[in-house]
Amino acid sequence: MSTTCDLKTQADTYRREAKRDYYAASRDAKRAASFYRTARQVEQHAAWLTSRPHVATPEYEYTPATLDAEARTWVSIADTFLRSSFRATDRARFHTGLARRYDEMAANRAEWLSTA
């Protein structure tokens, strides 16, 4: 049978896991935002090249088509980080709920022990 102290310790463990998950979600969201910015810059460069066809010659390393493909790649990478951020947020929410339940169980156990 678990004691009140064990329940509090478990609740604290879940709170730490939730904090780690929230940090991971924040980090991945920032990475996603950075990749979306990069994709937008590449798209703007492609638009700039499209409006100046004399610049996008075969000797020029980039063409609007290659830049569009590069932008799609950046968006795909950003989407991956954004999905990861959503999953980490869900895990954090789950661990926060577990911590809350363990706190309630510890309080109920302490109340029960005080009346016994």
CA gap 31, 44 in Å, rounded? 20
Residue 4 pLDDT grade (very low, low, confident, very high; cuts 50, 70, 90): low
Per-residue pLDDT of 104-115, as tens digits, reads 999 998 888 888
* Long-range Cβ contact pairs of 108-112 (< 8 A, separation 24 or more): 109/2, 109/3, 109/4, 109/7, 110/4
CA gap 49, 74 in Å, rounded? 19
Prediction pTM value: 0.79
| Domain boundaries defined on the chain | 4-115
CA gap 100, 93 in Å, rounded? 11
Residue 46 pLDDT grade (very low, low, confident, very high; cuts 50, 70, 90): confident
Backbone angles phi, psi at 18, to 5 degrees: -65, -40
For residue 2, pLDDT over 80 is answered with no
